[in-house]
Every structure is written in C-alpha cells, then in structure tokens.
Structure 1
Amino acid sequence: MSTPRTLAVVSAGLSNPSSTRLLADRLTGATARELETLGHDVTVETIELRDHAHAVMDAMLTGFPTGDLATAIEHLVAADGVIAVTPLFTTTYSGLFKSFVDILDKDALGGMPVLLGATGGTARHSLAVDYSMRPLFTYLHADVLSTAVFAATDDWAGAGDQVNPLPRRIERAGKELAERVHVRQNVGPADPFASTPSFLDMLGGA
C-alpha cells in the first residue's frame, strides 16, 4: 500500500525561464522517482520566489506573511522534505532567497530533510553552497543532506551523461533525499501554545 509524501521546492531564480528552476525541477524529478520506487505517492508544492518577491519584502517590514506567501510557507513547513535552490551572486545566495528564509520562524524547518542546490556562471562559485547555504540551514536546525548540487552554465551544455557529471550528481542527491524522507515521520510544525495551560486548569486549584 502506497503512502503519501510531500516535497516542497523553493526556487529563487529571477528570470523566467531560469537555470535555477531547471535545476530545481531536475532534483525534484529524481527525488520523486526514487520515492515512488520506495512505495510512496508524491505531491510536489513548488514555491517560485520570483512570484512572491513583493510579498516577501512586505513580510520583512510587517513581520507577517499574508495571502499566497503565507500559504506557500504553510506548505513548506508541512512538507516531508525540502529542495532549496538559489542562484549565486557575489559568491553567495541571492538576496531574495535570504529574505525568504529570514521571514520563516526559526523553528519552522527543525529536523526537516533539506537538499541544497545552486546555480552560477562558473564552477569557481561551487564552494558557496557549503560556506554560505549549508550554515544557513544548519542554523535553522534542518537536516541538511551531505550531497548538494551546483550547476554552472557549462554544465547545461555538457556532452552527455558520460562526460557531464551533473546528471549523475542529481540522481545521487535525489536518491539521498528520498531515502531520508522515506524513513521520516512527519509530525508537522510544533504548536507554539501546546504547553500553555487552559483557563480551567488555572482555576483548578481555586
């Protein structure tokens, strides 16, 4: 009997179409195929940050995400696993990507399996995944996968899978995330009021 699993995919590409979204889709496909092999029905919730850019800025100013952005965050924190992909600018994640992470509750991704991906012009930027993205999600107590995927411009023009390592790395990362999601029991986001006594409890001794 198949069991449902949900993937939340955060894509911070600024253009349309974008190589960032292309990488996100490839990672999602690899993960979904492996989850189906493991006996799961897979639902994918894609969060295209470009579509929420103004709402993200409003949330930073007000402290409260609203509308479609609030719905997207609900899908994110309720997912069984997350794929997060950003373009790299000046050797780090984009401002839009960081702003989105900044409006999340600090406990929203606690224990969440997260696969990191990034795109950039040249392979010189690939280390940014480990020295900027990974610490960011580690700070949020996410379960960050050891395998991350960086795609430079030249990777999309490679001479086939036998020469270009990108497809093999995508498959490896997708399998790793699927295995982590497969064994995870998603309990959903923590209730911030769970430990608050009820009015009747407070009157119990009266």
Structure 2
Amino acid sequence: MKLVVVSAGLSSPSSTRLLADRLTAATLDHLDHLDHLDADPEVIEVRELATQIAQHLVTGFPPAPLAAALDAVAAADGLIAVTPVFAASYSGLFKSFFDLIDKDALTGTPVLLGATGGTARHSLVTEHALRPLFTHLRALVVPTAVYAASQDWGEQGLARRITRAGTELARSMRPTAPDTAPDTAFDTDTAAAIAPRSLTGAITSADPAHGFKVVPFEQRLAALRAE
C-alpha cells in the first residue's frame, strides 16, 4: 500500500512540511491499527521540482525527477496534499504541480487536504479552493481537511483535527472486501416478489418447479367478486 505526500512549502524547514509530516504520522498510526496494514510513504517536495515544473509547462516534456513524482501520485493508494496559503488560496507552485497530473490519474483516490497560513482568517481555504480542485480531479476527498494557522501550533484543537483526518484517510485506504457470492436460495415468496408483473394479469402461483401462472385481470376480478 502506497501513501504519497505532496508538500508545497517554499522554505526548509517549513510549517507546511511540518503539517504534512504530522498528517502522515497520524495516517500511518491508524493504518497500523486497522488490521495492521502497512503503507510505504513517499514525500514529494514540490519546491525541489519548481524549475522542472516550469519547463514541463512550456515544453510539454517532464524531466525524469518530475515524471517520477507524477507517476508516484498517479499510483498512490492514498494522497496527502498540503499547501501554504497565498492571496487566500493555494500557492501557484502547488497548483502548477497538480495541473500536470493526468485528468484521470486521481479518480477514486482517497485524498487528505491540508493548508498552512499566518492567520485563522484563511481557515476556509481548504473548502473554497482545495476541495473543488480535487473534486474536479474526481478524487475521494476525506471529510476533514486541516488548516493550521501560526497560533494553532501546540494547541489541542489542531492535534485532534490531525488525528481525525488521519483516521479518515486510513479508513478510506483500507482494501475493500471481495464481493461475496449472492445467496442462491430460492423460495416462493421471493419468486413472487421479483417476478415480472403483466399489465393485464396477476400472478396467482409462484412454484419454481412449474413456473408462474398468469391469470387475466378480468378473470381474477370476477373470481374475487364471486367470493
């Protein structure tokens, strides 16, 4: 199982990478608790690919490191995407990276969203900017997105949101149980319930051994009146 983490922080160290690391740890912790599942995390620092992203946007040909990063995102069983906030939205570098993702690459992929900023006033950026972007890419975005303002670090509220978000992503990444074979038991009540009705008749018998007997509606109505 592969967990890919995309961090678009512009400095090293950065609060964006710190949030990405904490979300990753929470997800891995809950994956371990769920049937002892293991995930192989891969972190992509978008700032290290900035020049290659610009080249790809202009030439249409990704250099090898960028191509490997795009392939990793496309092959992920779960994705964590974290961006700093600029002008009340995701960063241009973050958007440029995901502009290069094939439009079908994230279809059905569970995604956990995170963002960092200097003020709590931008806390809805995950809902009005990030969530629509990944919905457009047909990803399965988990309900809890995590925004961390400068004053949030060290607060229990942020820790609880990180734990909840990591749990949601871990559950979304769980392999689905194989489809069970349908029950082949057949009884007359079930047969009568699922048998096709005639617009001009009514079912009066549902014997699997002899098939269904359809009586014309007028004949059935006359029999009922006679009773």
- TM-score for the superposition, normalised by structure 1: 0.83
Tell me which residue corresponds to 2:174.
Answer: 182
> What secondary structure is seen at the aligned counterpart in 2 of 1:150?
strand
1:30 aligns with 2:26: yes
Which residue identity does 1:34 align to in structure 2? Answer: H
Conserved 8 A contact 1:35-1:42: yes
Deviates more, 1:149-158 or 1:18-27: 149-158
1:108 aligns with 2:105: yes
How far the C-alpha of 1:31 sits from its partner, in A, is 0.1
User: Which portions of structure 1, spanning 4 or more consecutive aligned residues, are displaced by more than 3 angstroms?
Assistant: none
**Counterparts of 2:61 and 2:93, CA distance in 1:** 17
Conserved 8 A contact 1:13-1:20: yes
Conserved 8 A contact 1:11-1:24: yes
Tell me which residue corresponds to 1:59.
Answer: 56
- TM-score for the superposition, normalised by structure 2: 0.75
How far the C-alpha of 1:74 sits from its partner, in A, is 1.1
Unpaired segments ≥5 residues, structure 1:
159-163, 186-206
1:16 aligns with 2:12: yes
Mapping for residues 1-206 of structure 1, pairs under 5 Å: 5-38=1-34, 39-158=36-155, 164-183=156-175
> What secondary structure is seen at the aligned counterpart in 1 of 2:174?
helix
CA RMSD of aligned residues (A): 1.2
> Would you say how many aligned residue pairs link Structure 1 and Structure 2?
176
**Counterparts of 2:38 and 2:169, CA distance in 1:** 15
**Counterparts of 1:25 and 1:94, CA distance in 2:** 19
Which residue identity does 2:161 align to in structure 1? Answer: R
Can you list the C-alpha shifts for 1:82-124, whole angstroms capped at 9, x where unaligned? 0000000010000000000111111111111000000001110
Question: Which entry has the higher C-alpha Rg, 1 or 2?
Answer: 2
Can you list the C-alpha shifts for 1:154-180, whole angstroms capped at 9, x where unaligned? 11144xxxxx30001100000000000
> What secondary structure is seen at the aligned counterpart in 1 of 2:5?
strand
**Counterparts of 2:142 and 2:129, CA distance in 1:** 15
Query: Percent identity of the aligned residues?
Result: 58
Tell me which residue corresponds to 1:198.
Answer: none
Tell me which residue corresponds to 2:193.
Answer: none
Query: Which is bigger in relative contact order (C-alpha 8 A, separation at least 6)?
Result: 1
Unpaired segments ≥5 residues, structure 2:
178-227
